[in-house]
């Protein structure tokens, strides 16, 4: 996998498409164990992010991710704004001056994004948050030279589904204690769409 600006832009576009078509589902998931605004917040944020990156000429991938971060931070509103904003900001920092981006560099960027999310959210793996998807994906990308897009998607999907049986200890869902079990985590689901979109870009020959 080698990435240029157009793949980075396509990633944001495809993520937005998945978020828009699953907006109601994300809202349902969040109504079950959160405050019910995840679908609306994510659809507004990624709509604006796509509008921004599709209409701008970029020289570097770092700049695509920096603009994505800025838009998500200012437009999302809920906890996802600073968390996804931090993730893209960290990726932008790691990838600065690296064009085109290799798989190893991209893996470093995702790992740093994961660290940023953990620090910002003061959370760790196994607490029924988006970290439960980011962590295995970051590990997956770091392992092996020629990782496959299908495997990436599978890893993210499995990780998302695993959050169903986990007890929430962070965020609004933590107030529900045992009742948070049996529901898939909304933030893990939107993170799955992000990595599903990544796999799609990859399959198209990144």
Partner 1 sequence: MANVGVVLISHSSKVAEGTKDIISEAVSDVKVIPAGGTEEGGIGTSAPKIQQALEEADDGAGVILLYDIGSAGMNAEMAVELTERKNCYIAEDIPLVEGGYVAAVEAGMGKSVEDVLSSLRKSFSS
User: Is residue 188 close enough to count as binding partner 1 by CB under 8 A?
Assistant: no
**Calpha distance 195→205 (Å, rounded):** 16
Torsion over CA of 38, 39, 40 and 46, rounded to 10 degrees? 100
Smaller CB separation from partner 1, 80 or 103: 80
Nearest-approach distance from CB 185 to partner 1, in angstroms? 16
Q: Which stretch binds partner 1 (CB under 8 A): 67-75, 107-115, 132-140, 187-195?
A: 67-75
Q: Which stretch binds partner 1 (CB under 8 A): 80-88, 142-150, 152-160, 193-201?
A: 80-88
Per-residue binding letters, 158-177, with partner 1 (x by CB under 8 A): -------------xx-----
| Total residues in contact with partner 1, by rule CB under 8 A | 19
**Calpha distance 163→46 (Å, rounded):** 23
Of 25, 28, 52, 77, the one binding partner 1 by CB under 8 A: 77
User: Is residue 81 close enough to count as binding partner 1 by CB under 8 A?
Assistant: yes
Instruction: List the interface residues with partner 1, window 30-49 (CB under 8 A).
Output: 37, 41
User: Is residue 116 close enough to count as binding partner 1 by CB under 8 A?
Assistant: no
**DSSP H helices in the chain:** 5-21, 23-33, 38-54, 61-75, 80-94, 103-121, 131-142, 149-162, 186-203
Residue 25, phi-psi category: left (phi > 0), alpha (psi -120 to 50), beta (remainder): alpha
**Calpha distance 88→72 (Å, rounded):** 9
User: Is residue 82 close enough to count as binding partner 1 by CB under 8 A?
Assistant: yes
Look up residue 46 and give its two tokens.
Answer: 């990624």
Q: Is-contact 43 19, C-beta < 8 A? A: yes
Residue 83: other Cβ atoms inside 10 A: 25
User: Is residue 129 close enough to count as binding partner 1 by CB under 8 A?
Assistant: no
Nearest-approach distance from CB 113 to partner 1, in angstroms? 14
Element spanning 102, H or E: strand 101-102
User: Is residue 124 close enough to count as binding partner 1 by CB under 8 A?
Assistant: no
User: Is residue 120 close enough to count as binding partner 1 by CB under 8 A?
Assistant: yes
Look up residue 205 and give its two tokens.
Answer: 């020959």
Sole residue written with tokens 């049986």: 165
Q: Which stretch binds partner 1 (CB under 8 A): 5-13, 77-85, 133-141, 185-193?
A: 77-85
- Residues at the contact surface with partner 1, assessed by CB under 8 A: 37, 41, 70, 73-79, 81-83, 85-86, 120-121, 171-172
């Amino acid at each position: 996998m080698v990435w240029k600006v157009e793949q980075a832009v396509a990633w944001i576009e495809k993520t937005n498409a998945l978020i828009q078509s699953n907006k109601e589902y994300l809202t349902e998931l969040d109504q079950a164990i959160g405050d019910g605004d995840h679908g609306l917040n994510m659809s507004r944020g990624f709509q604006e992010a796509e509008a921004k990156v599709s209409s701008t000429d970029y020289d570097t991938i770092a700049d695509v991710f920096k603009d994505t971060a800025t838009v998500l931070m200012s437009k999302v509103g809920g906890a996802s704004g600073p968390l996804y904003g931090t993730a893209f900001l960290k990726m932008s920092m790691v990838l600065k001056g690296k064009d085109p981006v290799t798989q190893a560099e991209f893996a470093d960027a995702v790992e740093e994004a994961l660290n940023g999310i953990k620090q910002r959210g003061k959370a760790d793996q196994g607490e029924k948050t988006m970290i439960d998807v980011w962590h295995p994906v970051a590990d997956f990308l770091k392992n092996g030279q020629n990782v496959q897009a299908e495997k990436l998607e599978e890893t993210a999907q499995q990780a998302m589904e695993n959050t169903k049986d986990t007890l929430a200890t962070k965020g609004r869902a933590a107030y529900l204690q045992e009742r948070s079990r049996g529901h898939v985590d909304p933030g893990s689901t939107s993170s799955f769409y992000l990595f599903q979109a990544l796999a799609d870009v990859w399959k198209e020959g990144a």
